[in-house]
Amino acid sequence: MVLGSNKALSGAENRLPKPAVMIFMLATFIAPPVILPFTKGPKMGIPLPVAITFGIIILAANFIIKFLGQKKLGAMPAPASKKNGSLVTEGIYGKIRHPLYMSNGLLAIGMAILLSSLYALLFSIIYFFLFLPIIYLEEKNLVKEYGKKYLDYKRKVPWMMIPKLF
């Protein structure tokens, strides 16, 4: 991961009006995991104490992973990347190639389980897959920018959003 690099998406942003990109991002990545758990729909058949316990555990994991990822990149990763576009491969990035995307998925799953929402849980599975094209474009750009160094990193940390524990 490059310090806040989003160059892979910059081509699309240059062709589309910025408000359209912002609305798409809000409608696709922010609103559903926040809104869906609160909708009236089928509930999961999980006892309430179990749902609350597992939901809180998953949400805590989300916050820890997001904190560790942001800590490595800095509080404002995009402007920092212009100053220091170095490849980050230590810390949480030594275990997960895309911890911030993973934490977003955990947020969706945690909210769905905490509020026992079946629709939100089904969406959270789709939500993980929505990140794959973005990750593909980012990694394509990282290979162009860092070449062998990034390919070696991909071999060392083989899974995009699943931690390498050993």
Please report whether residue 99 resides in a domain.
yes
Domain range holding 145?
A: 43-156
Q: 117 with 45: CB under 8 angstroms?
A: no
78, pLDDT greater than 50: no
Please report whether residue 140 resides in a domain.
yes
Please report whether residue 23 resides in a domain.
no
Please report whether residue 165 resides in a domain.
no
Please report whether residue 31 resides in a domain.
no
Please report whether residue 101 resides in a domain.
yes
Q: What pLDDT score does 100 carry? A: 87
Is residue 75 very low, low, confident or very high in pLDDT (cuts 50, 70, 90)?
Answer: low
CATH number at residue 85: 1.20.120.1630
4, pLDDT greater than 70: no
As a whole number, the mean pLDDT across the chain is: 78
Is residue 82 very low, low, confident or very high in pLDDT (cuts 50, 70, 90)?
Answer: very low
Is residue 162 very low, low, confident or very high in pLDDT (cuts 50, 70, 90)?
Answer: confident
Q: What is the pTM of this model?
A: 0.72
Number of domains in the chain: 1
Q: 69 with 100: CB under 8 angstroms?
A: yes
> Tokens at residue 149, please?
């160094």
Please report whether residue 110 resides in a domain.
yes
